[in-house]
Amino acid sequence: MAGPLDGMRVLDLSSVVLGPMATQIMGDLGADVIKIEGPAGDTTRYTGPSRSHDMAALFMGLNRNKRSIVLDLKQDAARDALWRLIDGADVFIHSIRPQKLKPLGLDHEAVLARNPRIVYAGVHGYGSRGPYAGAPAYDDVIQGQSGSADMMARLVGEPRYLPTIMADKTCALVTAYAVMAALLERERSGKGQFVEIPMF
């Protein structure tokens, strides 16, 4: 039986945990997810235990139900190939900092101008406005800034990282819900939109 997202194509330009977990959920629900990696590959390929040098268990779990392609977006031919994929896609999701993406011509304004029905989702450490806009962040940084580490201090007497990647996992769920809500809205209005999901 086909899943509820059967027929939807998702372009996944995210890495590490947050974005890949969100698109893994979409793949589990039947979407055709194409993971797009640079030549060096997603860093989680090399994180933790593995049977193969570049296929760690973490990477395998987060990227199940996905097809894969390598594109060096600094090359014109690779960007052309990506634009052809964008033409037929329903969702474009990335975890690239906006100031790195804009020079490549892949900001949300450009992608939505090319494909007005696409749902463009940016998952970042911080929102595009505010004092931290554009700064890099990982789960442990967000745990410290959000006060989560202080909750551990109440239990063990000192601030500590929670024993899970709480910010990544929570925001991955929020991302999946936000993208699916945007797809539902698109079915009603016929228009795609930009969705931003900051961890902080």
Model confidence at 1: pLDDT above 80: no
Q: Is the pLDDT of residue 187 over 80?
A: yes
Q: Does 98 have pLDDT greater than 90?
A: no
48 pLDDT band (50/70/90 cuts)?
Answer: very high
Length of the chain: 200
pLDDT of residue 137: 92
Q: In the chain, what percentage of residues exceed pLDDT 70?
A: 100
Paired residues of 68 in beta bridges: 35
pLDDT per position as a tens digit, 27-47: 999 999 999 999 999 999 999
Q: Which residues are catalytic?
A: 168
Number of H helices, E strands in the chain: 8, 6
Structure confidence at residue 99 (pLDDT): 87
User: Helices 18-28 and 166-189 sit at what angle, rounded to 10 degrees?
Assistant: 50
> Taking 90 as the threshold, does the pLDDT of residue 95 lie above it?
yes
Question: Average pLDDT of the chain?
Answer: 95
Task: Assign 53 a pLDDT band (cuts: 50, 70, 90).
Answer: confident
**Who wins on pLDDT, 87 or 130?**
87
Does residue 191 have a pLDDT over 80?
yes
Cα 5 to the chain's mean position, in Å?
Answer: 17
Query: Tokens standing for 93?
Result: 């999701």
pLDDT at 123 over 80: yes
- Give residue 142's pLDDT band: very low, low, confident or very high (50, 70, 90): very high
Degrees (nearest 5) of the Cα angle 134, 135, 139?
120
Enclosing H/E stretch for 170: helix 166-189
Among candidates 26, 2, 1, which has minimal Cα distance to 173?
26
Which residue has better confidence, 129 or 115? 115
Say which residues have a Cβ less than 8 Å from residue 86's Cβ, sequence separation at least 6: 11, 92, 111, 114, 115, 118
pLDDT surpasses 90 at 196: yes
The larger pLDDT score, comparing residue 88 to residue 148, is at 88
Query: Count of CB atoms within 10 A of residue 84's CB?
Result: 10
Alpha-carbon distance values, 168 to 15, 109, 114 (Å) = 11, 26, 30
